[in-house]
């Protein structure tokens, strides 16, 4: 436990020095602002630039409910550009330590692999969750200002669901970073796999049940319809199961010294 | 502490890096692991430091598996790499805490150890700005910080310039008094200076385990070294036929003659040379240097 705190602290100091604690939240704040602002002003922007001739703008577009816009922030901003940035910011999470020998070096100390992994995932999850939450709150404020109000409890419920999906993103990227040695490959595999997960959401109920990306859909549903899908809790449990499995794989991979491939 | 390496074998795919290697270190001993590049030194060191698992065999420290005894090991990798964004002090605090030291002890021991390795005044410089020699010294500092009873060093001086080498060697000489040391090197002179005992490894196999004096005695065969001019090459054939000559080695104009009994035979050879009117440039009784013995051991039995 003590070693875990030491490693956790080191991760935080590193993020502070890399200024990751500043730029990652800023990125998400921008993404959070984009959706409500663009949705609100798009008709006037188009009107001003397009000359207004021959363009008909569906009036329902500006008449969107606040919940729908906030859901679009999750679905169109965070789930696309947002998580790509998240993955890219974390692709070296373990790979860097492997490449410069720090992983092997740290493990020559009386440190368990578990506390090493926990330090990595907890720190990176906290910064990711913090950034997503900040961006989401800013989006919430703009939505409430420009569109109809979204109830606070719905907003929080949706956020909690979404953060489960974020935990899955962090763990999955960590696993890929443990197994592969090139940052490009790590980013590619993580992004393709996670986008794939997100795209197939809604295709079939069976896939949705085991697909962690459904958590994002459940979050959006809460915002749009105001009711919690009964499958959401099951889905959260399945996601937690995947995360435990992922942690097991990472632990197995490092503890069996597969990382020393030279 | 007593270190036992028992029948360790490690292969990378088809290539055997360490082959059935066994060795014992007594407490307080300083052993040099010597071998040419690619002999398996680093692999063996990594197995001992529990960075890689061997396919077969085990490493025991005081009878317990090395993975349970990490607290007692100080490890210096061949190219010590630290987090470049940390300062020297932070690095040592981090590594020290990972070894289970309390912050209170560290505030006392870190300035001490930095002075010892000659990094005083660099406490708050970023490791990223350090030169190779400074990193090496920081590496030694972190290996010593938690006062381990076994220190494993992989090529501690090979990457350093002569001044840095000198300093690090002096440092090792000093810590030798308190701990068991195992270090690897391909430079014999370094090992000769600090270690009493050598283990020579080649192609992953132990080919020699001995002390310097023993090695020198064993190899100080009766050898005469004669340097002659080009016109007297035929004389070599004459010497070959002498009954007490065991072996002759010719390198250019230098002839190395191994005889049965140096005291009795050396004058006979000299007389013989004078008889044949050989133009002698140099005539001496020769002992192999460690370098030569090493080369013979490593390259010889190919």
Q: Please tell me which residue of chain B has the smallest CA distance to A258.
A: B52
What sign does the dihedral B162-B167-B171-B174 (CA atoms) show? Answer: positive
pLDDT at B271: 85
Phi, then psi, of B240 in degrees rounded to 5: -55, -30
Quote the domain boundaries for residue B261. 221-286
Q: Are residues B88 and B163 in the same domain?
A: yes
User: How many angstroms away from the CA of A19 is the closest CA of chain B?
Assistant: 12
Distance (Å, whole) CA A4 – CA A113: 10
B294 part of a folded domain: no
Q: Are residues B232 and B208 in the same domain?
A: no
The rounded distance, in Å, linking the Cα atoms of A4 and A122 is: 10
Q: Is 80 exceeded by the pLDDT of residue B4? A: yes
Helices (H) and strands (E) in chain A, counts: 13, 0
- CATH number of the domain enclosing B269: 3.30.70.980
Q: How far is A29 from chain B (nearest CA, A)?
A: 27
What is the pLDDT, as a whole number, of residue B220?
Answer: 64
Residue A108 is nearest to which of B50, B79, B82, comparing CB atoms? B50
Domain termination residue (choose one: B184, B217, B250): B217
Q: Does residue B1 register a pLDDT over 80?
A: no
Residues B128 and B40 in one domain: yes
Q: Do B81 and A260 touch (CB under 8 A)?
A: no
Residues B33 and B120 in one domain: yes
**What was the pLDDT predicted at A56?**
66
Interchain proximity B46–A260, CB inside 8 Å: yes
CA end-to-end distance (rounded Å), chain B: 36
The residue of chain B nearest to residue A96, with distances taken between CA atoms, is: B83
Residues of B in contact with A2 (CB under 8 A): 97, 100
Whether residue B75 is found in the same domain as residue B30: yes
DSSP annotation of A85:
H
Spell out which residues of chain A touch residue B75, defining contact as CB-CB under 8 Å. 105, 108
Candidate from A3-12, A40-49, A231-240 with smallest mean pLDDT: A40-49
CB contact under 8 Å between B83 and A110, yes or no, is: no
- B53–A108 C-beta distance less than 8 A: no
The reply to whether residue B83 touches residue A104, judged by beta carbons under 8 angstroms, is no
User: Is residue B291 over pLDDT 80?
Assistant: no
B71 at the A interface (CB within 8 A)? Answer: yes
Q: In the listed set B161, B183, B217, which residue is the last one of a domain according to the structure?
A: B217
CB contact under 8 A, A107 and B53: no
Q: Does A112 touch chain B (CB under 8 A)?
A: no
Query: Which helix (H) or strand (E) element contains residue A46?
Result: helix A20-49
Say whether pLDDT at B64 is over 70: yes
How many angstroms separate the CA of residue A186 from the nearest CA in chain B? 22
User: Per the CB < 8 Å rule, is A107 touching B73?
Assistant: no
Q: Are residues B188 and B252 in the same domain?
A: no
Residue range A83-109: mean pLDDT, rounded: 90
Is residue A96 within 8 angstroms of chain B, CB to CB? no
Tens digit of pLDDT for each residue in B218-255?
766 667 888 888 777 788 888 888 888 888 888 888 88
Number of domains in chain B: 2
pLDDT at A259: 62
Average pLDDT, chain B: 84
What pairs with residue B16 in β-bridges?
A: B11
- B232 part of a folded domain: yes
Q: Tell me which range, A57-61, A191-195, B115-119, B242-246, is most confidently predicted by mean pLDDT.
A: A191-195
Cβ distance B70 to A109 less than 8 Å, yes or no, reads yes
Q: What are phi and psi of B163, to 5 degrees?
A: -70, -50
pLDDT at B7 over 80: yes
* Residue B181, strand partner residues: B30, B151
Residues B259 and B230 in one domain: yes
pLDDT score recorded for residue B302: 46
- Facing B53 at nearest CB: one of A3, A100, A257: A257
B181/chain A closest Cα distance in angstroms: 16
- What pLDDT band is residue B89 in, cutting at 50, 70 and 90? very high
Residue B291 in any domain: the answer is no
> Does the distance separating the beta carbons of B82 and A109 come in below 8 Å?
no
**Average pLDDT score over residue span B41-51:** 88
> Does the distance separating the beta carbons of B98 and A106 come in below 8 Å?
yes
Q: Where is pLDDT greater, at B215 or A250?
A: A250
Residue B204 lies in a domain: yes
On whether residue B301 sits in a domain, the answer given is: no
pLDDT in tens, B134-182: 888 899 899 989 888 899 998 888 777 888 788 888 888 888 888 899 9
- Assess whether B68 and B120 both reside in one domain: yes
Q: Is the model's pLDDT at A9 over the cut of 90?
A: yes
Of A100, A257, A262, the CB nearest to B81: A100
Q: What is the mean pLDDT of chain A?
A: 89
Q: What is the dihedral of CA A29, A31, A37, A42, to 10 degrees?
A: 160
B29 and B110 in a common domain: yes
What's the per-residue H, E or C state across chain B? CCEEEEEEEEEECCEEEEEEEEEEECCCCEEEEECCCCCCHHHHHHHHCCCCCCCEEEEEECCEEHHHCHHHEEEECCCCCCCCCCEHHHHHHHHHHHCCCCHHHHHHHHHHHHHHCCCCCCCCCEHHHCCHHHHHHHHHHHHHHCCCCEEEEECCCCCCCHHHHHHHHHHHHHHCCCCEEEEEECCHHHHHHHCCEEEEEECCEEEEEEEHHHHHHHHCCCEEEEEECHHHCHHHHHHHHCCCEEEEEEECCEEEEEECCHHHHHHHHHHHHHHCCCCEEEEEECCCCHHHHHHHHHHHCC
| CATH code where residue B58 lies | 3.40.50.300
A102 at interface of B, judged by CB pairs closer than 8 A: yes
Considering the domain architecture, whether residues B16 and B142 belong to the same structural domain is answered as yes
Do B157 and B236 belong together in one domain? no
Last residue of a domain, one of B160, B183, B217: B217
ipTM rounded to 2 decimals: 0.84
Cα angle A105-A107-A111, degrees, rounded to a multiple of 5:
135
Nearest CA to CA, how far is B43 from chain A (Å)?
A: 10
Collect all residues of chain B within an 8 Å Cβ-Cβ radius of residue A104. 46, 51, 77
Residues B18 and B44 in one domain: yes
Q: Are strands B56-61 and B3-12 parallel, antiparallel or unpaired?
A: antiparallel
Q: Provide, rounded to the nearest whole percent, the portion of chain A with pLDDT above 90.
A: 64
Q: Do the domain assignments include residue B295? A: no
Q: What is the pLDDT of residues A187-241, one digit of tens each?
A: 999 999 999 999 999 888 888 889 999 999 999 999 998 888 888 889 999 999 9
Q: What is the DSSP letter of A226?
A: S
Binding-face residues of B in 5-44 toward A, CB within 8 A: 12
- pLDDT value of residue A252: 92
Is A110–B81 a contact, with Cβ atoms under 8 angstroms apart? Answer: no
């Amino acid at each position: 436990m003590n070693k875990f705190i030491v490693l956790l602290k080191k991760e935080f100091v590193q993020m502070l020095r890399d200024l990751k604690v500043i730029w990652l939240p800023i990125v998400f704040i921008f993404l959070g602002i984009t959706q409500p602002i663009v949705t609100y002003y798009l008709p006037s922007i188009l009107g001003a630039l397009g000359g207004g001739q021959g363009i008909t703008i569906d009036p329902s577009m500006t008449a969107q409910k606040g919940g729908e816009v906030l859901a679009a922030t999750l679905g169109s901003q965070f789930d696309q550009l947002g998580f790509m940035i998240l993955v890219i910011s974390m692709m070296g999470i373990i790979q860097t330590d492997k490449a410069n020998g720090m992983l092997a070096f740290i493990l020559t100390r009386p440190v368990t692999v578990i506390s090493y992994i926990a330090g990595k995932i907890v720190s990176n999850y906290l910064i990711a969750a913090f950034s997503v939450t900040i961006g989401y709150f800013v989006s919430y404020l703009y939505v409430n200002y420009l569109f109809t109000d979204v109830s606070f409890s719905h907003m929080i419920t949706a956020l909690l669901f979404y953060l489960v999906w974020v935990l899955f993103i962090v763990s999955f990227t960590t696993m890929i970073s443990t197994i592969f040695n090139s940052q490009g490959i790590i980013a590619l595999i993580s992004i393709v796999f996670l986008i794939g997960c997100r795209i197939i959401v809604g295709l079939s109920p069976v896939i949705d049940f085991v697909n962690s990306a459904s958590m994002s859909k459940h979050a959006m549903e809460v915002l749009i319809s105001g009711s919690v899908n009964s499958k959401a809790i099951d889905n959260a449990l399945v996601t937690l199961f995947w995360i435990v499995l992922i942690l097991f794989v990472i632990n197995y991979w490092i503890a069996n010294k597969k990382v020393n491939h030279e | 502490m007593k270190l036992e390496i028992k029948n360790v074998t490690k292969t990378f795919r088809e290539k055997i890096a360490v082959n059935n290697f066994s060795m014992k270190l007594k407490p307080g001993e300083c052993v040099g692991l010597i071998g040419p590049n690619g002999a398996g030194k680093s692999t063996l060191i990594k197995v001992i430091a529990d960075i890689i698992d061997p396919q077969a065999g085990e490493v025991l420290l005081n009878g317990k598996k090395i993975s349970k005894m990490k607290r007692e090991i100080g490890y210096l990798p061949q190219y010590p790499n630290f987090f470049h964004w940390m300062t020297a002090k932070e690095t040592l605090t981090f590594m020290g805490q990972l070894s289970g030291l309390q912050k209170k002890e560290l505030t006392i021991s870190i300035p001490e150890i930095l002075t010892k390795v000659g990094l005083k005044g660099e406490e708050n410089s970023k490791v990223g700005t350090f030169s190779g020699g400074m990193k090496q010294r920081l590496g030694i500092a972190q290996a010593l910080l938690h006062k381990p009873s076994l220190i494993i060093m992989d090529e501690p001086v090979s990457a350093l310039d002569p001044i840095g080498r000198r300093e690090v060697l002096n440092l090792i000489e000093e810590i030798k008094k308190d701990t068991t040391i195992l270090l690897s090197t391909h430079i014999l002179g370094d090992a000769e200076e600090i270690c009493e005992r050598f283990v020579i490894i080649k192609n992953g196999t132990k080919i020699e385990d001995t002390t310097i004096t023993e090695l020198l005695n064993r190899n100080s065969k009766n050898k005469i070294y004669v340097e002659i001019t080009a016109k007297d090459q035929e004389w070599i054939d004459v010497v070959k036929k002498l009954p007490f000559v065991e072996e002759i080695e010719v390198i250019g104009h230098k002839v190395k003659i191994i005889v049965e009994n140096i005291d009795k035979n050396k004058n006979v050879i000299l007389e013989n040379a004078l008889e044949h009117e050989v133009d002698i440039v140099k005539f001496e009784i020769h002992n192999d240097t460690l370098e030569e013995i090493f080369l013979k051991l490593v390259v010889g039995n190919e």
